Amino acid sequence: MSIFLNAEYGKNKLTPKQIMADPVLFLAFGFGSGLARKAPGTMGTLAAIPVYWLFYQTQSLLIYSVLTVLVTVVGIWICDEAANKLGEHDFGGIVWDEVAGYLITLWFVPLSWQTMLAGFVLFRFFDIIKPWPIKWLDQHVQGGFGIMIDDVLAAVFAGGLLFLIINLGWIS
């Protein structure tokens, strides 16, 4: 028995093999990171780090912005389809919203290991704690948009705080 994989996922009891073989589920599960038995959201955010690194390498705020908006908007469809295939709304293994959230958190900050780490911690904090209105959205908005919107707002909170921390000179 693996420490990382359950035998079945969602009410429709999909196997890890089925999830990894389906392109929509593969993305929704953050390239497989959402299969983690413990803390799949944190694993999904970790899976977002190479995506962020790749997007940042374009060295263009415009291209980074287009890619981040694309990941977020397409993520609404990806998460909705995944929830339908799993037979369960906002199943914990659906972590595409964490991928988008991490990209949004780091949208307007310079690349450094400090900003990547602080962005990771702040995004996870807001995504887990869910202060108002994040929690309200999480509880009241359904479908793919509902899966995505709480993480998008958590990312806006985290990114705003990170931007302020950087501008105060607390990290570079």
Residue 58 clears pLDDT 50, i.e. is over it: yes
Least trusted range by pLDDT, from 3-7, 94-98, 149-153, 163-167: 3-7
Check pLDDT > 60 for residue 4: no
Radius of gyration, alpha carbons of the chain: 16
Structure confidence by residue, pLDDT tens digits, 106-147 = 999 999 999 999 999 999 999 999 999 999 998 999 999 999
CA atoms within 13 A on the CB side of 73: 6
Q: Is the pLDDT of residue 5 over 60?
A: no
Q: Cα-flanking dihedrals φ and ψ of residue 74, to 5°?
A: -65, -30
CB contact at 8 A, 112 and 91: no
Q: Longest C-alpha distance within the chain, in Å?
A: 50
Question: Domain limits of the chain?
Answer: 16-167
Compute the mean pLDDT over every residue in the chain, rounded to the nearest whole number. 94
Over residues 10-27, mean pLDDT: 94
SS3 4: coil
Residue with tokens 């263009």: 60
Confidence at 3, pLDDT banded by 50, 70, 90: very low
